[in-house]
Amino acid sequence: TKPYPADIVVQFKDIYALMGQNVTLECFALGNPVPDIRWRKVLEPMPSTAEISTSG
């Protein structure tokens, strides 16, 4: 298969949650080679209890 650039779609607005509540963020990405998607929290380290799942 011929290489092509990543096409990434992120669709969320400002999300507010109380401490301890779950938040779901989605990102859809296509590309060849397959894009490597990484989530990070701005200004703070990602909590060690953070659960990140991927599919596809």
In whole angstroms, give the CA distance from residue 31 to residue 23. Answer: 26
pLDDT for 32 equals 95
Q: What is the pLDDT of residue 56?
A: 65
Close Cβ partners of 47 (under 8 Å, ≥ 6 residues apart): 41
pLDDT for the residue 55: 75
The structure tokens listed for 11 are: 């669709």
Sign of the dihedral through C-alpha 26, 37, 53, 4: positive
What pLDDT is stored for residue 6 in this prediction?
A: 92
Distance CA 32, CA 17 (A): 35
Domain ranges of the chain: 1-38
pLDDT of the chain along its 56 residues, tens only? 799 999 999 887 888 899 888 888 888 899 999 898 887 778 887 778 888 877 76
